Amino acid sequence: MTKQKTLEDIKETFGFVPGFFEDFKWDDLALSGGWELFKKFELSETNIPLKWKHLIALAAAGAVKCPYCTKFHTAAAELFGATETELQETAYTTSLVGYFSNYLHGRRYPLEKFDEELNHIVKNFQAAAAAGKA
């Protein structure tokens, strides 16, 4: 897509061309490629429903502490139907990943032992599901 067509598509989609896309004008591929990826994976249904996709992205944004991404994915998740409780749970779940990661790294917990324990946990859940208990 040409630079002009890309900018027109962005304007048609958003009602204007946001500055962060305008800033990509230095290179046709950076602009058109970035826009095509953004449009497909941030604004369109793919294998992951849009609400889930933006909750996942919000978790990643929180983990890397990106204020731009956090604002965008919160607004997008809400736009696609996420509730306040789902946003809260997403943030909480993200914090738990960091919590346990920090603890396991800090304790230098053996990865091989963790793998063995994880296999046991998975088998236990599979057995419970097969027995109708999960």
Q: Is the pLDDT of residue 27 over 80?
A: yes
Domain definitions of the chain by residue range: 1-44
Structure tokens at 89: 């749970």
Cβ proximity of 30 and 24 under 8 Å: yes
CA distance 85 to 14: 28
- How many CA within 13 A on the CB side of residue 76? 26
pLDDT in tens, 45-99: 999 999 999 999 999 999 999 999 999 999 999 999 999 999 999 999 999 999 9
* CB neighbour list of residue 58: distance below 8 Å, 6 or more residues apart: 69, 70, 73, 74, 77, 87, 90, 91, 94
